[in-house]
Chain A
Amino acid sequence: MRKLLFETLIRPPLTEGLAAADESAVAELAGRLDRAARERLGRSLAIRQVDAGSCNGCELEIHALNNAFYDLERFGLRFVASPRHADLLLVTGPVTHNMREALERTYAAMPAPKWVVAVGGCAKDGGCFAGSYAIAGGVSSAVPVDLHIPGCPPRPIEILRALLAFIA
């Protein structure tokens, strides 16, 4: 383990900006997001994620925000375990009838002020599942949506960019 840790110390960080030039958008975002988060939210935006019936594709890309390349927490954005601790609800999926109440109750459990960001094509209007007997619709059919991030699923960088646009 010591060898691995030592190597990690002497290698340049993977966190984007020091990586390939075409990925430098992340570095640019990092600076802007950092400033905006400090000003608006005192460097803290707590995010609660709810899967309202997605295929799990969006969750995989939201997970990726925590990896060394995107390192979400450097911006003061972090995922929290309870809606009671959250400023922002990040919702994926078409809202299934079976999940609708759980989503509404999660939203209701958040303290104000609160925002909702819907992630993915399904979260907009049900996507390719629209019209199914099991689908209530997009996220806005259950809770008020402040921002929608398109994509199936959106790339992590796109989710990051949209979160920036939202708090900027």
Chain B
Amino acid sequence: MSAPRTPTPVIDAPSLGELLAAGRHVPGHRPWPRSVVDADAWTLAAECLAQGGITLLGLWGDAGAVHLALLEEPAGAIGVLSLHLAGREFPSVGELHAPAIRLERAIGDLYGLEAVGLPDARSWLDHGRWGLRHPLRDAYRAAAAVTPYSFLPVEGEHLHRIPVGPVHAGIIEPGHFRFTACGETIVRLEARLGYAHKGTEGLMAGADLARGALLAGRVSGDSAVAHALAFARAAESALELEPPRRAHWLRALMAELERLANHFGDIGAICNDAAFALLHAHCGVLREQVLRAADRGFGHRLMRDLVVPGGVARDLDRGGAALIADVVAAARRRFPQLVELYDNTASLQDRTVGTGILKPALARRFGAGGFVGRASGRAFDARRQPGYAPYGELDFDVPVLDAGDVNARVWIRIREVEQSLSLVGQILARLPSGPVHEAVPRAAAPGEGAALVEGFRGDILGWLRIGAGARIERCHLRDPSWFQWPLLEAAVEGNIVADFPLCNKSFNCSYSGHDL
């Protein structure tokens, strides 16, 4: 580990448009522009990221190139910069802008591309157990070589370490947490992830769109709709395919049901981690009712394999719509009571208020999406900016708080539940009629597409390049957790070890979505 370089201040920092204009425009990349830039422009973009003028949306490897997706707030302008590589090296973005560090470590593991200057050269997804190196580019066999992971050193008196995972005490995904504590207080938390790495991006390469959609729906089980939507929208952009109007509305219906189910589950689980089982039980009922309505309406509790390129795979009949409407109406009656209970239980508030504070500046720097960002003052919501159908025709608020503690993350979820209940009502009342799927043309021209959609956890970036015969050449799905996991480490600092489950659940980052 070397110390990160202090970025040189950029005077008159260029806008995203100017950064893109500095390179060669790539035709056929939709809906946002992509430019091939040189190493200087690449580093200038990294300096702009460090300065905070633009936000990092994604950074991923490709055959002989690295791509950098950028967002300019508040306008919601998006663009992709690409750097073509003659060899294996590229200038590190993470050296200047910490949110890129783990992304570059992953690029190193999967592509064998080296980010020169990267302050953390340890492997991230590659635990030395695959039997090969650089699986996505010029893979070569290498005997499994498991070496102990060198956790960051912590120095000081009276410190002890607590290793947790990858097998946890509860029914949770696998990951390792290394705590360094001084008595009860967490001095440092370092997560080690990658245990759920399934090589999804490798399986995507060469797959047809149907298999791609299937894999996208399995990136993170709780975001089956959102990831499939990011994939489908990116594919549709690449193919210049417009799904029927009803399909857009049904997708939004599914996405909001997914948000409701997850938020109900999370609110209950956070309270449960503060030993308040009553709310857990009641929220569990609401969650189950939403999942059952989804099952009746769409044939699958998690609404898996329903969002596909071209539209949706199954229409919603009147009976299903009526059932969903009933469940939402019932939740509207029941939920306020639970909110009141949360708000008026002093012993519960004692645990959540002031716990696990994420400072707004850090949330902004990492471009934290979802309730993590919105509880720390970052109002970004992909449904608004850049926005996508049918949200422009729907009425909803994006709640924002500044406190950044567990309590604020609970309240953002509460407010989002209210918004989603309203959205489901609006969608059902105004659901357009007509077909729900537009066939993907067999002889589709090659193209590149990107999409940004709002999952319950935050914005998901989908990017793919489609080659001859509508085969996927490269697909990258960036889960919001990439930028939220490092923030959890910052938020728990100075808290007691016993509050970690509470903080962790309030973030509820995805392991599988991150590990891919």
Query: Using Cβ atoms and an 8 Å threshold, which residues of chain A touch B302?
Result: 57, 60, 153
Query: Using Cβ atoms and an 8 Å threshold, which residues of chain B touch A54?
Result: 173, 196, 221, 512
Taking the closest CB of chain A, its distance from the CB of B174, in whole angstroms, is 5
**Contact between A134 and B171 (Cβ–Cβ < 8 Å)?**
no
**Contact between A62 and B304 (Cβ–Cβ < 8 Å)?**
no
Query: Using Cβ atoms and an 8 Å threshold, which residues of chain A touch B214?
Result: 128
**Contact between B174 and A61 (Cβ–Cβ < 8 Å)?**
no
Query: Using Cβ atoms and an 8 Å threshold, which residues of chain B touch A62?
Result: 171
Residue of B nearest to A62 (CB): B171
Query: Using Cβ atoms and an 8 Å threshold, which residues of chain B touch A52?
Result: 174
A18 at the interface (CB under 8 A from B): no
A-contacting 9-mer, from B23-31, B124-132, B464-472 = B124-132
Interface residues of A in 26-77 (CB under 8 A from B): 49-64, 66-69
Q: Which of A63, A68, A100, A128 contacts B171 (CB 8 A)?
A: A63
> How many residues from B make CB contacts under 8 Å with A?
55
A56-B199 contact, Cβ under 8 Å, with A1-B278, A153-B221: no
A140 at the interface (CB under 8 A from B): no
**Contact between A55 and B291 (Cβ–Cβ < 8 Å)?**
no
B224 at the interface (CB under 8 A from A): yes
A165 at the interface (CB under 8 A from B): no
Residue of B nearest to A94 (CB): B198
Bound together, the chains give a CA A58 to CA B167 distance in angstroms of 16
A68-B222 contact, Cβ under 8 Å, with A59-B173, A99-B196, A129-B200: no
A98 at the interface (CB under 8 A from B): yes
**Contact between A134 and B281 (Cβ–Cβ < 8 Å)?**
no
B404 at the interface (CB under 8 A from A): no
A25 at the interface (CB under 8 A from B): no
**Contact between B195 and A98 (Cβ–Cβ < 8 Å)?**
yes
**Contact between B194 and A98 (Cβ–Cβ < 8 Å)?**
yes
A96-B196 contact, Cβ under 8 Å, with A55-B221, A63-B171: yes
**Contact between A66 and B284 (Cβ–Cβ < 8 Å)?**
yes
User: Which secondary structure dominates where chain A touches chain B?
Assistant: mixed
Residue of A nearest to B170 (CB): A81
Taking the closest CB of chain B, its distance from the CB of A122, in whole angstroms, is 8
Bound together, the chains give a CA A54 to CA B169 distance in angstroms of 17
**Contact between A96 and B203 (Cβ–Cβ < 8 Å)?**
no
Bound together, the chains give a CA A100 to CA B284 distance in angstroms of 32
Taking the closest CB of chain A, its distance from the CB of B231, in whole angstroms, is 14
Residues of chain B touching chain A, judged by Cβ–Cβ distance below 8 Å, are 127, 129-132, 135, 139, 144, 166-167, 169-174, 194-200, 202-203, 211, 214-215, 218-222, 224, 265, 278, 281-282, 284-285, 287-288, 291, 295, 301-302, 304, 337-338, 341, 344-345, 510-512
10 sample A-B contacts, Cβ–Cβ < 8 Å, listed by A number: A4-B337, A53-B196, A53-B198, A55-B512, A57-B304, A64-B287, A67-B281, A67-B284, A98-B194, A133-B199
Ranked nearest first, the 7 interchain pairs of A and B with the lowest CB-CB distance are A57-B221, A132-B199, A134-B199, A56-B221, A81-B169, A67-B284, A97-B129
**Can you name 11 extra interface pairs (CB under 8 A) apart from A51-B171, A57-B221, A128-B203?**
A3-B337, A14-B285, A49-B171, A57-B224, A67-B287, A99-B174, A99-B195, A102-B167, A133-B199, A134-B197, A134-B199
Residues of chain A touching chain B, judged by Cβ–Cβ distance below 8 Å, are 1, 3-5, 14, 49-64, 66-69, 79, 81-83, 93-94, 96-103, 106, 128-129, 131-135, 152-153, 155
